[in-house]
Structure 1
């Protein structure tokens, strides 16, 4: 999506990035724009030569308390031994800085986090490049790291004022879901609207009947897609905690699996991830039997997310495609 941005907007983003970097005393550099979605993410260099990532947060998406809480949780996971980016304070000790309204930009926040080595596990829409044997290793490690993250979250006592979104029933299926009203998005056909509305009601009933083992709920990453899992020779790293919050642990598992379901080695991928997870944390067969529900719930989120961002290239087409894909998945999983 970076390549599709208009040149004048790219230039404005670069200037905004340098404005933010002045707070870290390193404004005299040319930051490299890596990603433009919820945040504009840049590769930068700190005063001591260390690589880092600057994030310009999307105005209005998360408030100051939520952004600070994200950094606090990342720091806590790092203290617990998990390989995740760590916040970098300004010379004045701030983890988060406020940037004023200026030019094309409304008031927003910025932060800097440590650079994490590794290559993304893959890219959405493209086949995974690793062999089945390597995929088994990667997803086993991913599952174990995810389980460790959940356990560290349960042990951690958040500080006063900690605030992150909740991927609970209302956050997924309520009148104002976290990622948008997927059942009445602009551009959907009347047939899609009717089918998605009926599916929403069905899933709400299913979610209300979850047995205790499937109700494992706490802080989760919420977006462990391929691009947010970096692979190294020795393990995996989780990045992009922008959507982290309180949610069902099965939602994290479903997110890591959903976009890989058409891979030839999917059976290997799923088995390895579950085996890795169970090596660090309890996951009963009864709980796992509800994974199809969370696969469909996760698939629904993409519809509303893109509908709320019509400025992104191909957004309308993706809304229609994700609607059809989700309805097909729901039927496949026995929910239609």
Structure 2
């Protein structure tokens, strides 16, 4: 998405990145814009020659407390042995800085995290490139790593003032969902609003009907899509990046997020089986919880409607919005048939 930005915006972001880098010990070079979504992410070179990632955070998306909490969570996972980015302190030993407003940008926070040397599992909308057997091996490792992440999260004592969003029933289906009111947002025709409103009510009832003991709850990544899962060490291991949406939530939400964009892969049944087997190789995951996986895949798909509606500037946003509505309703129909 970064390469689709107008040059004027790229130039402005580059200047903002250089402003931020005044706070870190880095080599004199031009930061390279790698990603522009919630954050503008640049690859930089630290003074010791190692790569790192500079993140210019989307103004107003997370406050300072939430951003510091994200960095603390990543640091705890890294300390526990999980391959994730970890905070790189400024020259003054700070993990987060606030850049002042100027003519082009409001106030915004910036931080630097360590670089993950690998390649993304894939790109949304594109077929996976690996063979079916290799895909199964990879998704087994993803499930195993996800279970370790949840295990470390449960063992970690969160620090005072720790605060992250909650991907609970209210965060997914309440009056103010974390990623927007998917049933009532700009760009939706009246017919879609009516159908999605009804679906929201049905899903709230379905979620309430699940026994609380069947749904493991705790800190989750919340966005383990292909682009945020890196294959490292000649694709023999996996690493997780981009904890921007990490928070409290149903562990099943992490599994559903990873599987959702792979539903149309020819090897999907093997992918799903491998992910679950990998998770169960490290952590308990009951059949009762597994039975709710299709529900959580619908819930995850619906979040993208609200997310896109609030980001009309994204190329192709209107078409993608229409696609997610149709896809969500089709998934919900299959869910009702299976009930």
TM-score > 0.5, shorter chain as reference: yes
Which string of whole-angstrom CA distances, capped at 9 and with x for unpartnered residues, describes residues 198-217 of structure 1?
00000001111112343210
- Name 1:139's counterpart in structure 2: 139
The size of the alignment, in residue pairs, is 336
Instruction: Select which of 238, 242, 258 maps to 2:260.
Output: 258
- Name 2:246's counterpart in structure 1: 244
Which string of whole-angstrom CA distances, capped at 9 and with x for unpartnered residues, describes residues 63-83 of structure 1?
000000000000000010100
- Name 2:71's counterpart in structure 1: 71
TM-score (norm 2): 0.97
**Shift of the alpha carbon at 1:103?**
2.1
User: Is 1:332 aligned to 2:334, yes or no?
Assistant: yes
What aligned pairs does 1:150-299 form with structure 2 within 5 A after superposition? 150-232=150-232, 233-299=235-301
- Contact 2:27–2:46 (Cα < 8 Å) also in 1: no
- Name 1:23's counterpart in structure 2: 23
TM-score (norm 1): 0.98
Measured in 2, the distance between the counterparts of 1:16 and 1:187 equals 32
Structure 1 unaligned spans of 5+: none
Measured in 1, the distance between the counterparts of 2:146 and 2:78 equals 13
- Contact 2:224–2:258 (Cα < 8 Å) also in 1: yes
- Contact 1:21–1:27 (Cα < 8 Å) also in 2: no
Measured in 1, the distance between the counterparts of 2:213 and 2:127 equals 33
Structure 2 unaligned spans of 5+: none
Measured in 2, the distance between the counterparts of 1:82 and 1:3 equals 31
Measured in 1, the distance between the counterparts of 2:236 and 2:294 equals 31
Write out the 4+ residue segments of structure 1 that deviate beyond 4 Å after TM superposition: none
- Contact 1:214–1:250 (Cα < 8 Å) also in 2: no
Which string of whole-angstrom CA distances, capped at 9 and with x for unpartnered residues, describes residues 300-332 of structure 1?
000000000111111122111111111011111
**Shift of the alpha carbon at 1:194?**
1.0
**Shift of the alpha carbon at 1:266?**
0.1
Q: Secondary structure of the equivalent of 1:182?
A: coil
- Contact 2:27–2:47 (Cα < 8 Å) also in 1: no
- Name 1:14's counterpart in structure 2: 14
Q: Secondary structure of the equivalent of 1:246?
A: strand
Structure-2 change in CA distance of 1:27 and 1:64 (3 Å): farther
What aligned pairs does 1:41-56 form with structure 2 within 5 A after superposition? 41-56=41-56
- Name 1:39's counterpart in structure 2: 39
